């Protein structure tokens, strides 16, 4: 079994970069990324590589090299499905907002629609690869749909979860810690696993390609994100304790991070984690545990989310408290809106929730982010439905220049750890702010000693 043509359904943050790297590393394999969103596909095909819809360092060069050679972006979903040997399903699996499992379970309607379309269109045997983050045993659902609605075609289901960190996705794809492939442990299942192994083996060492049964692969993705998010919430819980003592969270994190059993990654105290994966995957894990009656397990993991939500609200309240218990009519400058640096992804960004709380207190917010478009910021706020769209636009303004963002502001809140923030002329910023001028460093990235020398009143997280 050899894979020569790949179709990926979904041209978002996972499908686009992943398929671009596969096409770049395997020039003899035709890779077609399909999506019903015409505007998104048009952006992927834009002659100006800076306009592709996903910002990741280095991604533009990879797309530019492979696009038109063996990498294609199209809205002709059925043609790509029919031609493919292997089909990656990389569609959104958001948390349900309705019905059973509302607020915790994954909404699998797009997965089911993909499966039904694949079954209806396919005229030859296919390998179907779960790329989206899915609940354990989703593969059995896919198999059931494909078996009973197909055209006598054989479908082999694999789980190949992504382990990308946004902002470093290209490097994570080119030099992954591991590639995980799960499949049925039958002769045909193992042949399908090996076919996908051969694709990745073009550039990934074989010892880094792990193969498991399909259920272990599905659960491993949820578990990895849950463990990482747990570390963030753990250090953030201690940051609050540090603020009530004379401890410094950065010193605490450094001290425990040097323990080889713990390590230093994901011990950066902050205003909280965001992104599309951590919260969604933990809630999914909570729902699965509760569905099996494992309430103590569910309560344990749910606390990670509770702590994260608390950290965002606590940060907003810290701003209010330090601005003399009122922000009504006061200008607060937001530096950063993306959930982390080096990405234009804003899903579950802490900035959204901090802004929402401050706007509830009638603050006037000015936002600068180097990669997030203006329209997306208003979409994020409108999605919360706390106030009308017109009210959001009246109270929150977007600037294209960081100095204009901070001009005449009472305070600055750093919500994304963009490297460029450290390079600003902070004396110039201070001179054009209202005094006393405050900086609330929600990402602990700025030189606090230097800022205090200039005259700022500086508050970090945990210091």
Please write the tens of the pLDDT for every residue from 167-210. 999 999 999 999 999 999 999 999 999 999 999 999 999 999 99
Secondary structure class of 432 (helix, strand, coil): coil
- What pLDDT is recorded for position 147? 76
Beta strands in 90-174 (DSSP E): 126-130, 155-159
Sheet holding 411-414, edge to edge: 396-398, 364-368, 331-335, 411-414, 438-441, 457-459
Token pair, residue 123, equals 């005229």
- What pLDDT is recorded for position 111? 79
Query: What is d(CA 446, CA 416) in angstroms, rounded to the nearest whole number?
Result: 11
Q: What are the backbone dihedrals phi and psi of residue 32, each rounded to the nearest 5 degrees, phi first?
A: -120, 120
Cα-based distances in Å from 174 to 5, 18, 20, 21, 164: 20, 10, 11, 7, 11
**Which residues, in sequence order, are CB contacts of 192 under 8 Å at separation 6+?**
1, 127, 156, 158, 183
The neighbouring-strand residues paired with 88 are: 8, 129
- What pLDDT is recorded for position 133? 62
Own/partner pairs for 187-191, CB < 8 Å, 24+ apart? 188/154, 188/156, 189/156, 191/1, 191/156
Catalytic residue among 114, 242, 277, 406: 277
- What pLDDT is recorded for position 383? 93
Q: What is the DSSP string of 73-106?
A: EES-HHHHHHH-SEEEE----PBP-SSTTTTTSB
Query: What is d(CA 91, CA 133) in angstroms, rounded to the nearest whole number?
Result: 9
- What pLDDT is recorded for position 451? 97
The neighbouring-strand residues paired with 280 are: none
Residue ranges in the chain modelled with pLDDT below 50: none
277 is catalytic: yes
| CA-based torsion, 409, 412, 415, 421: positive or negative | positive
The pairing of strands 179-183 and 155-159 is antiparallel
In terms of Cα–Cα distance, which of 371, 367, 365, 366 is closest to 345?
371
Span 28-65, pLDDT tens digits: 999 999 999 999 999 999 999 999 999 999 999 999 99
- What pLDDT is recorded for position 317? 97
The neighbouring-strand residues paired with 179 are: 209
Cα-based distances in Å from 151 to 123, 129, 158: 7, 19, 20
Query: What is d(CA 159, CA 217) in angstroms, rounded to the nearest whole number?
Result: 6
Residue 110, classified by CB atoms within 10 Å of its CB into exposed (0-12), middle (13-18) or buried (19+), is middle
- What pLDDT is recorded for position 146? 81
Cα-based distances in Å from 150 to 44, 90, 115, 117: 31, 21, 10, 9
- What pLDDT is recorded for position 134? 60
């Amino acid at each position: 079994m050899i894979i020569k043509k790949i179709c990926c359904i979904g041209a978002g943050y996972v499908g686009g970069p992943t398929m671009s790297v596969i096409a770049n590393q395997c020039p003899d394999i035709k890779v077609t990324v399909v999506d019903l969103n015409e505007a998104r596909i048009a952006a992927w095909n834009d002659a100006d590589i800076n306009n592709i819809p996903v910002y990741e360092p280095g991604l533009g060069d990879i797309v530019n090299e492979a696009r038109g050679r063996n990498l294609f972006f199209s809205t002709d979903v059925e043609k790509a499905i029919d031609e493919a040997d292997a089909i990656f399903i990389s569609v959104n699996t958001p948390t349900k907002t309705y019905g059973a499992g509302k607020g915790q379970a994954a909404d699998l309607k797009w997965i089911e629609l993909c499966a039904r379309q694949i079954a209806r269109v396919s005229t030859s045997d296919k390998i179907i690869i779960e790329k989206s983050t899915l609940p354990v045993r989703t593969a059995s659902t896919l198999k059931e749909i494909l078996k009973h609605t197909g055209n006598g075609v054989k479908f082999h289901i694999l789980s190949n979860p992504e382990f990308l960190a946004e902002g470093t996705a290209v490097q994570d794809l080119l030099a992954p810690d591991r590639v995980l492939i799960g499949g049925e442990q039958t002769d045909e299942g193992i042949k399908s696993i090996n076919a996908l192994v051969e694709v990745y083996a073009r550039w990934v060492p074989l010892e880094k390609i792990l193969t498991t049964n399909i259920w272990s692969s599905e659960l491993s993705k949820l578990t990895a994100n849950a463990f990482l998010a747990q570390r963030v919430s753990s250090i953030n819980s201690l940051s609050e304790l540090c603020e009530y003592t004379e401890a410094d969270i950065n010193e605490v994190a450094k001290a425990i991070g040097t323990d080889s059993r713990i390590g230093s990654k994901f011990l950066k105290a902050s205003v909280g984690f965001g992104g599309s994966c951590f919260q969604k995957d933990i809630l999914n894990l909570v729902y699965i545990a509760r569905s099996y009656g494992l309430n103590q397990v569910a309560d344990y993991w749910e606390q990670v989310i509770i702590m994260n939500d608390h950290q965002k609200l606590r940060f907003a309240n810290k701003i209010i408290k330090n601005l003399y218990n009122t922000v009504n009519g006061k200008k607060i400058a937001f530096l950063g809106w993306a959930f982390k640096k080096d990405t234009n992804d804003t899903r579950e960004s802490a900035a959204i929730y901090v802004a929402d709380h401050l706007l509830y207190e009638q603050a006037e917010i000015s936002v600068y982010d180097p990669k997030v478009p203006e329209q997306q910021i208003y979409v994020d706020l409108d999605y919360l439905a706390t106030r009308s769209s017109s009210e959001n636009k009246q109270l929150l303004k977007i600037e294209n220049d960081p100095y204009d963002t901070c001009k005449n502001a009472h305070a600055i809140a750093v919500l994304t750890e963009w490297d460029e923030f450290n390079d600003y002329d902070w004396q110039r910023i201070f001179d054009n702010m209202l005094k006393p001028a405050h900086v609330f460093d929600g990402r602990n990235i700025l030189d606090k000693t230097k800022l205090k020398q200039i005259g700022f009143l500086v508050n970090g997280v945990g210091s």
